[in-house]
Amino acid sequence: MLSIAFTGGGTGGHIYPGLAVIACLRQGCRVAWLGSATGMDRAIVEAAGIEFYGIPAGRLRRYVSLKTFPDLFRVLAGFFAARSILKKLRPALLFSKGGFVSVPPCAAAASLGIPVSTHESDVSPGLATRINLRFVRRTGGRIFTAYAETAAFLPPACRTLVTVSGNPVRPGFRGAEAAAGRAFLGLGEGDRILLVLGASQGSLELNALVRDALPELVKYYTVVHQTGPGNEGAAPGDKYRPYAYFKEEMPQVLAAADLVLSRAGAGTVWENAALGKPMILLPLRGSGTRGDQVENAEFFEKAGAALVLRPASAGGAGDLAALVRALAGDPGKTAAMAAAAARIARLDGAALIAGALEDALSARAGGDAP
């Protein structure tokens, strides 16, 4: 039986889209995942029933720090560990979902002659994707992108390898039912819902903003707030429902929302868009980020799917309250934003990428994997 190796990790945003692709694979094949031996990677992947192999992982930095050299050794150790694993697995191809942990497996696969393909979720490619492009070119793989605009950021020699796929979204989202979400929340059809999402770990900035603006927000919506584990929201009330973390009910809760306030991570904005949700976005910014969320937010704003809280005013609860008030009083605007969001997410990235990988697997079925 031929096999496919997946790699990626460090955050859920580099894992869940890959799992969405795996869920869409139709033909029988062995699937294994190479991720970080530490952190969340193993728990998420194994919970999905996927075979997992942990490797040493060193963070890739754009600056020099005391951790740079130890991380370089971890990257090197990760390469040899990944090479040993891939020699035993003998996969027909390797698919990377990015993140710093993906670089050693991609390099190892290329050294073994295993075709490498990769997916970039953001408007502009991250450092790991930029490094992995050389392995894709060397092995004749494909570069999948969420946005057509991403090709302009790639070297000219790589642009012919690009397939615009959109972002893979977990299967449960596209068919999620609003009624099930309202039932979970204990809310009726007449309750307008503002869903606040600060990613899986929450967002202290977003939590503080909501807490300060809450007296105004609840005038227009019932606020359902994913605060993140260990983070407290305001005191629960009839119009304010804090939850530490949504699990399997997340797609239904999102489907029930009338308006979403969230960060602008690639996975978050595409899950919102897949369900046609108008958005207010507060992108992560400043030192410690390369600005990818700012770019994502600006893309959705330009497309008419979102309003963006700007850095200069993002700390102002009054600005958030004003945006929510304006949207609450303009159903035509929110309907137009919802339609724009749905247009962006019309591509089913998980199914499209899975189909391409299956085609590549079929093409290699007559030959021997490395």
Contact 119, 96 (CB under 8 A): yes
Per-residue buried b or exposed e for 118-138, using 16+ beta carbons within 10 Å of the residue's own CB: bbbbbbbbbebbbbbbebbbb
- Report the side by side order of strands in the sheet with 51-55: 51-55, 30-36, 3-7, 93-96, 116-120, 143-145, 162-164
- Tokens 């976005």 sit on residue: 281
Instruction: List, as one string, the DSSP characters of 128-148.
Output: HHHHHHHHHHHHT--EEES-G
CB count within 10 Å of CB 318 equals: 11
Closest by CA to 22, choosing from 43, 45, 1, 55, is 45
pLDDT value for 230: 76
For the stretch 343-360, pLDDT in tens is 999 999 999 999 999 999
CA gap 305, 299 in Å, rounded: 9
Tens digits of per-residue pLDDT, 93-116?
Answer: 999 999 999 999 999 999 999 999
Quote the CA–CA distance of 245 and 106 in Å, as a whole number.
Answer: 33
Nearest to 220 by CA among 191, 243, 189, 241: 191
Q: Which residue has the tokens 């992982």?
A: 57
* Separation between Cα atoms, residue 52 and residue 126, nearest integer Å: 24
Q: Which of 139, 95, 128 is nearest to 6 (CA)?
A: 95
Between helix 292-302 and helix 266-274 the angle, nearest 10°, is 30
pLDDT tens for the chain, 370 residues long, are: 789 999 999 888 899 999 999 999 987 789 999 999 998 899 999 999 999 999 998 676 555 555 666 778 888 999 999 999 999 999 999 999 999 999 999 999 999 999 999 999 999 998 999 999 999 999 999 999 999 999 999 999 999 999 999 999 988 998 899 999 999 999 999 999 999 997 655 578 888 899 999 999 999 999 999 998 877 767 888 999 999 889 899 999 999 999 999 999 999 999 999 999 999 999 988 766 778 999 999 999 999 999 999 855 555 889 999 999 999 999 999 999 999 999 999 999 999 999 999 999 988 876 544 4
pLDDT value of position 67: 64
DSSP conformation letters of 339-366: HHHHHHTTS-HHHHHHHHHHHHHHHHTT
Best CA proximity match to 161, nearest among 135, 127, 131: 135
Contact (CB, 8 A) for 141 and 93: yes
Output the pLDDT for position 231.
75
Give Cβ neighbours of residue 186 (< 8 Å, ≥ 6 apart).
Answer: none
pLDDT of residue 369: 45
Could you give the maximum distance between any two Cα atoms of the chain, in Å? 65
Evaluate whether 53 touches 32 at the Cβ level (below 8 Å): yes
Domains and their CATH numbers in the chain: 3-169+348-364 (3.40.50.2000), 172-344 (3.40.50.2000)
Q: What is the pTM of this model?
A: 0.89
Q: What is the pLDDT of residue 291?
A: 81
